[in-house]
Amino acid sequence: MILPLVIIALLTIAVAAIAMTLRNLIHSALLLIGSWAGIAAFYFWAGAEFAAFAQVLVYVGAVSMVVLFAVLLTRRSRADLEVAPDAIGRGLGAMLAGGAVLGVLFGAVFATRLDVAPTAAPTASVRAIGQQLMGAHAASLLVVGVILTVALLGAVVIASTDREGGKEDAR
Amino acid sequence: MSVVVVATSASEWTALRVVDSLALVATATDRFLECAPVMLRDAVTGLLPDPWRWIANGLFAIVAIFAVFGLLFAFLTLAERKILGRVQNRPGPNRAPTPTFPFAKFLGKIRTYGLAQPFADGVKALTKEDIVPDGADKVLHFLAPVALLAFATLTLVVIPFGRNLVALQLDAAVLYFFAAGAATELAVFMAGWASRNKYSLLAAMRALAQLISYELPLLLSWVPVVMIAGSLSTVAIVEAQAGWKFGFIPHWHVLTPWGFAGFVIFMVAALAESNRSPFDLPEAESELIAGHLTEYSGFKYAFFFMAEYFGMCALSGMAVTLFLGGWRAPLPFLEFIPSYAWFGAKLLALILGFMWIRATFPRLRIDQLTRFSWKFLVPLALINLGNTVVWALMSGGSPALALARWPVCAAIIVVPFVWLGRAQSASYAPRTYRYAA
Amino acid sequence: MLGTGLIQGLAVTAKNLVGSFHDPERYTTVEYPEVKPKLPENYRNFPFLVSETAEDPMGTLRCVACQICEKECPPQCIYIVKSKDKKLDASGKAQLYPATFAIDTSVCMSCQICVEVCPFDAIKMDQEFEIATTDRFHGLLLNREQLAKPNSYYHQIHPTEAAAVDALLVAARKAAEEKAKAAAAAKAAAAAKADVARVSRPVNPAAANTNTGQETRATPATSAPQPPAAPSAEAPKPPPPAA
Amino acid sequence: MSLSPLQLCLLFSSALFCVGLVGALSRSNTILVLLGVELMLNAANLNFIAFWRFSPSPSPATGVMFVIFSIAVAAAEAAVGLALVIAIYRHQKNIRLQEANRLKG
């Protein structure tokens, strides 16, 4: 019960931490995809199958593709390869800030009494989720749909070139 | 006769636990052939004490899948080459001699229509030098084929190969299938990028663009099935296609207007997802010298090949499950044939179709490819979704309404097909060159 | 409508798929080592030397070691050594013969110039393509014995061409005979008799179409109306100056 | 002291959050910053699932619902963010965040 959780947690955190320190963008993107998969494993462990598959489908399947595309489309220049002079200071500051947040969060977790008895896992059947989505959360579902559409259009508009007469290949 | 064990808790997701005892099998069917696979499994794993049993069952399922599909892969490669040969009016590989080691002196070489070819290929792949380019990303270069094969194999476990023959019964099995399948493009990207070869990288980018484009129609095409069947579980979807109308027309989804359209869209998208021929741009040998496969040799290359066939089998198996009634017999009096034989027959028929298409059509250009998806398949799949809603709403009413839904739903899908198809056909018109005279 | 063309295409391939099982005429390939492909008559790869008979190829080589081909060969893959002695050829005339005739097929570019320049129709293009060898130096250097092939073989591989060549040779021989007869008559008239030794020709079984000695070949230059043989026929016996 | 599974989950998510935070703050590459933000978002999702899993009276699938919406929004965010990255790259030929400090094109 606990052991799989610990393994998943340690692996995910380790993979994410390594990803954040690597200089090779592709490697860190791939490792981050691994950590997303680890999070999906956690969902699976917690009994939220649907969320786990959604996580894999969206993150490992779609977001990762967009990230890799962005990496490939943005060629790195020489300036990116050398360590910027302020990188060390910034890194130290980030570590400090991160450590502080970590301390606060850990302190809060430890200080709070959360002695919930680990009861039987709640079930979330696909049917129940579907009924919730179409019933109680129908409005939110619509809003999310609108957000996604707008985001898609916005992304296309932002990323598209605005050259004059750019219709040369549009046949 | 149908035993569908409802998932009692979500964490109980491992192993073939559909049928846990011979008694249950006996209720499922009394024919020997039908329950032979499960009986075999129980005979093997029954020796173990109870706590180990589900692990053993799971291992048995894994071994079975690898054995069956590994062998199927071997002979599909041969079948593909044979069929391609026949289509081009030549006999195909027919020379690999069957090893007759102890009796070689008396028998000489025996050529069994090239049936030994897969094994010769396997030996060749195993003994070839494994070349890793000097500038390659060694880890990713190794990881890519392994990951690809792993993901392709993962998709196979939720397909019901026969009555009670599903390795992993999930509540959201169809979602699982496509989640696992979505990861394959990651492996293709890894292969292309790790090779440090411009062609491979181009192939990787093409693969990403293509797979993203075709993921959408693929996902949209099976949503109607889920709507009608009311479940994401593959077993339940097969269950929903049980029975015969008038005693001889099976209730398969492909035999409805929306189901037929969904099936066709699914198969076209599946062709693209498995990088098969009219859409095999990532490995286009004439323009990208085999793309992401360029820098692979030996067994890693064989892994890629194996993953392609596994993916093809998985997608065809999913199409069979979703649209062609799964393991069900087409006619009532044919039910004496075991269910897995029916599944296998349908699967092979679809794969044969894949090969036939490969033998026929030339490769698309990348812009035609993406345009075909975004401007044709996706709108059509969305319309099909609405079509299914109309179908479902009209089925509740009077018999006249139920009869009227056939022409209505057929029209709803055929008219946009013709209309969108006209625009598509225009876009494939002879290319005009801007700079050439 | 979109898709009709696709279905037509599928029908074509399906027809092939089914047809190839019951209609062997459809096959575009043959099962090679067992079944040899029928080569088109114009196919050529490397030269061979024509001999009159199959029984004694070395004795009946048409080649007189004139070395025109050796000099004309663009990649210079022919190597000829003239014999010291002379030997009676098919027409009974004493001729030189190649003591060594070697062609390096790894150098030969199959241009057929040697065939075109040969005044004696002694070298022709072969169709033998199974010439793989494990020794790339000596295995590909073909000597006189390996190159010699009988005229009947030439008829086998290039029937029309061989027939034309033989017709020319026969015509040339007839013309030569007539001329010889006329000359003999003139001689007889002029110098009475007593030269019987010259007249009798050896009666060869293949003589009907293969009696193609130097003499017959040399004569048309002056008498017979044969344009193709004319340019090279000016230098009959001695090797001509290399052009 | 013994930790309850819920506390373990929360520690997991807070650690993941901090990894994302440090990454987002320290790296200068825009893509990596975006990925760090994604990681933080995922850490928050973890909490939803953890609380849903271990709550005394789990209402049906509320936590899962939250996560599904969150994933959808995160996907939108990633798409727009990476489109922005490409726009920045097109503009200044690199994707260093420190140099993207002009509003005017």
Pairing of strands C123-125, B249-250: unpaired
**Given the structure tokens 């973890």, which residue do they identify?**
D46
For residue A39, the chain B residues in CB contact (below 8 A) are none
Q: Is D100 on the interface with A (CB under 8 A)?
A: no
B65 alpha-carbon distance from chain centroid: 14
Map out the domains of chain B as residue ranges. Answer: 1-92, 128-423
Q: Could you give the CA distance from residue C49 to residue B370 in angstroms, rounded to a whole number?
A: 62
Residues with Cβ within 8 Å of residue B372, at least 6 apart in sequence: B364, B424
Res A26 pLDDT > 70: yes
Pairing of strands C148-150, C47-51: parallel
CB B313 within 8 A of CB B72: yes
B and C adjacent (3 or more CB pairs under 8 angstroms): yes
Task: Please tell me the pTM assigned to this model.
Answer: 0.75
Span B187-206, mean pLDDT? 84
For residue B91, the chain C residues in CB contact (below 8 A) are 20, 27, 29, 31
Task: Tell me whether 0.95 is exceeded by the ipTM.
Answer: no
At B316, the pLDDT band (50, 70, 90 cuts) reads very high
Query: CA B191 → CA B122, B152, C25, C240, distances in Å?
Result: 21, 15, 44, 67
Q: Is D41 on the interface with A (CB under 8 A)?
A: no
CB B342 within 8 A of CB B328: yes
Quick one: pLDDT at residue B437? 57
Res B132 pLDDT > 80: yes
Residues 136-165 of A with CB under 8 A from D: 137, 140-141, 144, 147-148, 150-152, 154-156, 158-159, 161
**Given the structure tokens 């019987």, which residue do they identify?**
C196
Q: Which of A48-62, B399-413, C81-95 has the lowest mean pLDDT?
A: C81-95
B139-173: per-residue pLDDT in tens?
A: 888 888 998 888 888 888 888 888 777 777 888 88
The verdict on a CB contact (< 8 Å) between C31 and B91 is yes
Res A79 pLDDT > 80: no
Span B311-320, mean pLDDT? 91
For B379, how many CA atoms within 13 A lie in the half-sphere containing its CB?
A: 16
% of chain B with per-residue pLDDT over 90? 6
Q: Could you give the CA distance from residue A157 to residue A155 in angstroms, rounded to a whole number?
A: 5
Report the residue from A33, A49, A168 with minimal CB separation from B10.
A49
For residue C2, the chain B residues in CB contact (below 8 A) are 417-418, 420-422, 424-425
Give me the torsion for CA of D55, D56, D60, D64, rounded to 10°: 10
Span D81-100, mean pLDDT? 78
Query: CA B327 → CA B237, B251, B350, distances in Å?
Result: 11, 13, 14
Tell me which residue of A58, A3, B56, B162 sits closest to D38, measured CA to CA.
A58
CB B292 within 8 A of CB B200: yes
B143 min Cα distance to partner chain A (Å): 12
Pairing of strands C141-142, C98-104: antiparallel
Query: CA C78 → CA B195, C98, C101, C109, C210, distances in Å?
Result: 49, 12, 7, 12, 25
Stated as kind and residue range, the H or E segment containing B315 is helix B298-323
The DSSP result for B82-123, as a single string, is HHHHHHTTS--S--PPBP-GGGHHHH--B--TTTTHHHHHHH
Q: Could you give the CA distance from residue B102 to residue B96 in angstroms, rounded to a whole number?
A: 18
Quick one: pLDDT at residue A146? 92
Residues with Cβ within 8 Å of residue A1, at least 6 apart in sequence: A118, D5
Q: Could you give the CA distance from residue B98 to residue B117 in angstroms, rounded to a whole number?
A: 9
Quick one: pLDDT at residue B431? 66
For B178, how many CA atoms within 13 A lie in the half-sphere containing its CB?
A: 29
**Given the structure tokens 């999913």, which residue do they identify?**
B318
Residues with Cβ within 8 Å of residue C138, at least 6 apart in sequence: none
Quick one: pLDDT at residue B5? 39
Q: Which domains does chain D have, with CATH numbers?
A: 5-99 (1.10.287.3510)
Res A165 pLDDT > 50: no
Res A38 pLDDT > 50: yes
Res B416 pLDDT > 70: yes
Quick one: pLDDT at residue A73? 78
Residues of chain C with pLDDT under 50: 201-243
At A120, the pLDDT band (50, 70, 90 cuts) reads low
Quick one: pLDDT at residue B348? 92
Stated as kind and residue range, the H or E segment containing A90 is helix A87-111
Res A160 pLDDT > 50: yes
Residues with Cβ within 8 Å of residue D87, at least 6 apart in sequence: A158, A159
Quick one: pLDDT at residue B364? 82
Res B17 pLDDT > 70: no
Strand, helix or coil at C31? coil
Report the residue from A2, A48, A114 with minimal CB separation from D64.
A48
Q: Is C6 on the interface with B (CB under 8 A)?
A: yes
Radius of gyration of chain B (CA): 23
- Phi and psi for B434 in degrees, rounded to 5? -80, -35
Radius of gyration of chain C (CA): 24
B212-268: per-residue pLDDT in tens?
A: 888 889 888 988 988 888 888 888 888 888 877 777 788 888 888 888 899 999 999
For residue B87, the chain C residues in CB contact (below 8 A) are 13, 16-17, 20
The residue among D75 and A118 whose pLDDT is bigger is: D75
CB B409 within 8 A of CB B392: no
The dihedral sign for the CA sequence B271, B272, B275, B280: positive
C118-172: per-residue pLDDT in tens?
A: 888 889 898 888 888 888 888 888 888 888 888 888 888 888 888 888 888 888 8
Q: Could you give the CA distance from residue B210 to residue C75 in angstroms, rounded to a whole number?
A: 53
